[in-house]
Amino acid sequence: MNIFKQFYKSLYSPKDISMFRFQGIGKTILYVFFITLISIIPTGYYFSQAINSALDAALATIDDEIPAFTIENGVLQSGQKEPVTIEQDDFTIYFDSTGMMEAQDLQNNENAVALLKDELVFIAGGQVTPYPYSIADDMTVSKQDVASFLESVDTALVIIIPILLTVIYLFSSAAKFIEVSMLALFGLILKNIFGKRLKYPQLWRMSAYSVTLPTVFFTVMASLKTTVPYDYLLNWFVALSMLTLAMKEIPSPKQSE
């Protein structure tokens, strides 16, 4: 059975998931990489879109609308007495050297970048990521330096975005392997409860396919930009349910008289 048919079967068939315990470990590892790739498609798309929008907005406003500033000793300094908000299509730029704004104040934004007093905050697809200026504490950065840097980044974007997406994919793959391994550990408890003769490698294979349904569900929700309450608990509940149903499809060893 090819990987695409396995993907389809894993969405609804615990019986097929139980049969996958006999296949080679290499094919199962490949399957985990495959579903991870599917799961990051919305993230990759919105992330790329946010970077392009951020650069376009920054380049359009840095010269005319952002006040002169310097970042020195980990602090943004300017003569501006109040925060500045600049709207650019579906992107927003915030500038605040007064300390009135903080990263948590920006959580309702979809795509934005904020130059705050102590940190640079990047928001992509509603995800807030702060970068403290203190990581470059010994550097002094001016408005002209930032403008030159943005122009160089814009020309290199065709290289930068694939590299960043690759990093996201590798981290997501590592997280998915950890998830599958933890689910298999829970499977060790379940197999004793149900009296099934299963070893950890078999449970690991079954767990890899049991996470398919919740992975696809949350991928669809991410593509629709829909927040799911208690998403972490729901993910584990569905995965454990699929693994439990798959284990029930396996015949129990006969009791000797």
What is the per-residue pLDDT across 21-71, written as a single tens digit (0 to 9) for each? 999 999 999 999 999 999 999 999 988 888 887 787 777 777 778 888 898
Residue, of 226 and 124, whose pLDDT is higher: 226
Average pLDDT across the chain, whole number: 89
Q: What's the pTM value of the predicted model, to 2 decimals?
A: 0.73
pLDDT for the residue 167: 93
Confidence bin at 159 (pLDDT 50/70/90)? very high
For residue 236, the tally of other CB atoms under 10 A from its CB is 16
What residue segments make up the domains of the chain, in order of their start? 3-43+162-248
pLDDT for the residue 255: 56
**Pair type for strands 91-95 and 84-88:** antiparallel
Confidence bin at 257 (pLDDT 50/70/90)? very low
pLDDT for the residue 19: 95
Lowest mean pLDDT among 19-33, 60-74, 175-189, 224-238: 60-74
Starting at the edge strand found earlier in the chain, the sheet holding 141-142 runs 75-78, 69-72, 141-142
CA separation, residue 113 to residues 90, 95, 209 (Å): 12, 9, 38
Confidence bin at 139 (pLDDT 50/70/90)? confident
pLDDT for the residue 60: 75
pLDDT for the residue 93: 86
Kindly report the length of the chain: 257
